[in-house]
Every structure is written in C-alpha cells, then in structure tokens.
Amino acid sequence: MVCIICKNPMVYYFSKTFTEFDLTNVDYYKCSNCGFVASKTHSMMSVENWESLNFKAHSYYNSIDNNPNNQPPPYMEQALMLHIMRKHEIIPSENWLDWGSGEAKLAKILYHWFDQKLTCFDKYIEPEINPLRGGVPSGFKYDVIINSAVFEHVTVRATLDEINDCVSEKGVLAIHTLVREEIPSDKDWFYLLPVHCSFHTNKSMDILFKEWGYKSSTYCPNAKMWMFFKFKKGQIADKVNDINKMIGFKYLFLKDGFMDYWK
Ligand SMILES: [Zn+2]
C-alpha cells in the first residue's frame, strides 16, 4: 500500500473489528514517512460497497439524536469565523463553495444569520439549499472553498486534488478534519468510525499544503477549522491581531506553512 499523500510505502499498523453496517475487520496502515494512516479495507472496497456503507451509516446517524460517536462539525462557529474573516477582508466576500456540503447545514446558517451565499456540492446527498448539480464545471474556480468533515472520508488522492483544483488564483481553502501529530494505534480511539478511512498528521497536511502552493494558514480552535492562503502571513498579520485583540483571546492562530495547532 502506498501513501496517497507522499507516495512512500505504508506498513501494517493495527486492526479493528466493527459490528455495524456489515463492516467487519478493518486493517489500518501507516505511512513510514508522513505518519498518515489509512484503512486498506476501505481503499479496496468497490465503489458500490463504499457508497452503500456511507448511505447506511448516514441514514442511521441521522435517525438518532446526540450520538456521541458522530458529533457534527461546529457549523455555527465555522459560520461565525468565516463571517469575521470576511468582514476584515482576510477572505474574499463572494463566490463561495462548500465541497461535500451534505444537506447544506453550514449554508443555511450562513444564509439565515450572516447574509452570505454558500453554493453547495455533494456527490452523495442532495443539498437542501443552493445546490450545484452535476459538480463544478471544468475550469470553473471559486474564491472560497470550504470542506467540513470531508478529508477523513477520502480514499484516493485524486479527490483531494479535485477539491483543491476548484480554488481560484486569489482563493482560499477552508478545512475541517482531525489532524494530530501522530495517529494512535488504539482501536478504541473515538475517531475510528465505520466511514472514517483517512487520518491526517501535521506532517501529511504540511506536505499537501506545500504541494498545492499555499504559503500561510490560520487555525481557529472554536471553529476547528483551518484556512489556507496563497500569500505569506505578513499580508494579514495586522488584521488577525486586530481580531484577536477585539475578541480578547487568541481566536485565530496564524503562521507561515501549515498551522500545526494539535501537537
Ligand atoms: Zn505519507
């Protein structure tokens, strides 16, 4: 098995047995270079089986309230962060796309409370507002690309590149996924869900970040969201300081390179 991030060999790491959604034994492999961990079991599934697993899991999680194993992303906090960054002209004010939007929960919050239009695209679920049917037209770019809880579901590099390819020249990329210094080989780790197959490290994200040509990034712990920029941090450092000062604590963390917040 080869790492989809840095193309180095991956070695067997550990296994977990699931009892849900007809999934049984899952083998996790770890990249010898960047520490990225992926499920070999998921990567070998047929497209039909992978879609069926996602559908079953999604229907089940949506049918029960307060599932501790499936906390939704903090959409309200993400909307607020995007709004603040837009107001301070750190990110472009329009031409926004949520790639992998699900039902469009973030778009609804932005529309109802922040007067912001967010176009929604999802390969598997019909968004309830602002749907972009048929995907991003070839060559079309967006100035703000958001993906919330997508990266941990991706099995091939082409999908990650497909997301980044939608970002315009002056555009930014916003990401919500779990990133750690090291992925634990613990089968009881809360993040090992039946539909999670990719686990990113600070090093693997830094490799992607550089390959995609980004220069600086912010992380907002409240929103649990990164923002990748194609310019050095000096261009927005004063604005980020203003925001942090006004709020009264370090709301945004900024650095050149990938902001490795979770050590
Ligand atoms: Zn790697």
Q: Report CA(199)–ligand 1 centroid distance (Å).
A: 11
Q: Report CA(175)–ligand 1 centroid distance (Å).
A: 19
Q: Report CA(48)–ligand 1 centroid distance (Å).
A: 27
| Dist CA 57 CA 261 (whole Å) | 30
User: pLDDT tens string for the chain (263 positions)?
Assistant: 999 999 999 999 999 999 988 888 999 999 999 999 999 999 999 988 888 888 888 778 777 766 666 678 999 999 999 999 999 999 999 999 999 999 999 999 999 999 999 999 998 889 999 999 988 998 999 999 999 989 999 999 999 999 999 999 999 999 999 999 999 999 999 999 999 999 999 999 999 999 999 999 999 999 999 999 999 999 999 999 999 999 999 999 999 999 999 99
Whether residue 72 is contained in a domain is answered as yes
CB 23 within 8 A of CB 45: no
| Dist CA 56 CA 10 (whole Å) | 29
Tell me 54's DSSP state.
Answer: H
Q: Report CA(31)–ligand 1 centroid distance (Å).
A: 5
Whether residue 180 is contained in a domain is answered as yes
Flag whether the pTM goes above 0.75: yes
Whether residue 3 is contained in a domain is answered as no
Q: Which pair of structure tokens corresponds to residue 252?
A: 């945004």
| Dist CA 237 CA 234 (whole Å) | 5
Whether residue 4 is contained in a domain is answered as no
CATH code, domain with 220? 3.40.50.150
Whether residue 5 is contained in a domain is answered as no
Q: Report CA(17)–ligand 1 centroid distance (Å).
A: 25
Whether residue 62 is contained in a domain is answered as yes
Q: Report CA(36)–ligand 1 centroid distance (Å).
A: 5
Whether residue 261 is contained in a domain is answered as no
Boundaries of domain holding 87? 10-256
Domain count of the chain?
Answer: 1
Q: Report CA(200)–ligand 1 centroid distance (Å).
A: 9
Whether residue 93 is contained in a domain is answered as yes
